[in-house]
Amino acid sequence: MGTAIDGSAIDKVLKDAVATGVVPHVAAIAADRDGIIYEGGAGVRIVGENHDPVTTATHFRIMSMTKMVCTTAALQQMERGELELDAPVDTYCPQFADVRVLEGFDGDTPKLRAARGRATVKQLITHTSGLGYWFWNADLVRFEKVTGVPNVVPGSAEAFKAPLVADPGTEFVYGINTDWLGKVVEAVAGKTLDVVIKEGVTGPLGMNDTMFRLDEARTANCVTVHVKGDDGTWSSAGEILNQNPDWWAGGHGLYSTPRDYVQLERALLRGGELDGERILRQETVDAAFANQIGDIDFPAEIPSADPPITDALRVGPGWKWGYGLLLNTQDVPGRRRAGTGAWAGLFNTHFFVDRTTGVCASIYTNSLPFISEHEAWKTYVDFEAALYSCL
């Protein structure tokens, strides 16, 4: 076990955020290389309906925090010589050759052309293939509206008909890359993604509460997604994810608990090993925490194309992307150090791994919109600052 810190300042952040209506509920956890050093929660599982207290053993939809799990599975295949990161995606998934670039509209007709180059597996991992998400790309919002092609959340295989919005290797575009990566992993393994992840990641790390579909008992332990009404109060929007999807979504499909997911964070903090189980080589972990997009930058600001789903993301300049991780290239005063790897999930879950300080942490709520500046995002920042003040 790690040495517990005095977490009273963190407790106050969590309790105040719920008491003032900033978030509907929240759980947070932090660990060092030796174990958990803080865990806490505030609020209830379903506001106004179920008064089970939220803890670090509560289940959440972790959405895009799934990406690091799927990326780990792909990196394991790379280590075994089964997967070439520089190989074109269509080597493993021939249907990817049919994906074209959207470059505008002629009335309501999308203007599509062939991509200038074949996207690689590495470009899927680094979000430089050209694939996007509707909520941060107005052209994809319009494309979905005029074609009827759904986004990935409903779980329909039709979502893979979505086009590129940039040529491969030209810019960072956050999108459905890791859903395609999951298809690549399945093709290489000859198994479905849930099995690959269980065998290679969650099983070895003892993450027994992390899965694509919850059983009855775990469903009864899961929060619902919450939205805020005009009167400023939170209410449950129920279940958002399709419980019988056409495919297991490597980009967003997992449920987990804070206690479970911190096992992956600690394995990354420890160079790929935890409790005698090695899931990645040290050099692979080092590569995950290194700039893998070269001269391309992570955008300083990404405007919202769907405000009920997400606010704009404003991280400012000086950020890069590794393997599944957003990397800050400078220290954040009073918070994470340069080289920290982090990411988040659409329903407001966040994690970071600071190898310099030797700490990893995550914070969870299930609410929309994502990264709301004065709500979930503020709570995340306040939690991180309070944690570092205790170290």
307 pLDDT more than 90? yes
Give the C-alpha separation, 297 to 291, whole Å: 10
> Read out DSSP for 241-257?
S-SS-SS--TTT--EE-
2 pLDDT more than 90? no
- Our answer to whether residue 64 is catalytic in this structure is yes
Average pLDDT over residues 133-150: 98
Residue 373: per-residue pLDDT? 87
For residue range 248-283, what is the model confidence (pLDDT) as tens digits? 999 999 999 999 999 999 999 999 999 999 999 999
- Our answer to whether residue 380 is catalytic in this structure is no
For residue range 348-385, what is the model confidence (pLDDT) as tens digits? 999 999 999 999 999 999 999 999 888 999 999 999 99
Q: How many CB atoms lie within 10 A of CB 329?
A: 14
pTM over 0.85: yes
Domains in the chain and their CATH numbers?
Answer: 8-68+206-390 (3.40.710.10), 79-188 (no CATH)
Phi, then psi, of 106 in degrees rounded to 5: -110, 95
Q: In sequence order, what are the residues at sequence separation of 6 or more whose Cβ sits closer than 8 angstroms to the Cβ of residue 269?
A: 31, 32, 33, 353, 355, 358, 359, 360
Q: Which of 67, 122, 198, 320 is catalytic?
A: 67
Q: Which of 64, 236, 256, 362 is catalytic?
A: 64
For residue range 197-238, what is the model confidence (pLDDT) as tens digits? 999 999 999 999 999 999 999 999 999 999 999 999 999 999
Q: Which of 174, 261, 364, 388 is catalytic?
A: 174
- Our answer to whether residue 174 is catalytic in this structure is yes
Question: Over the chain, what is the mean pLDDT?
Answer: 97
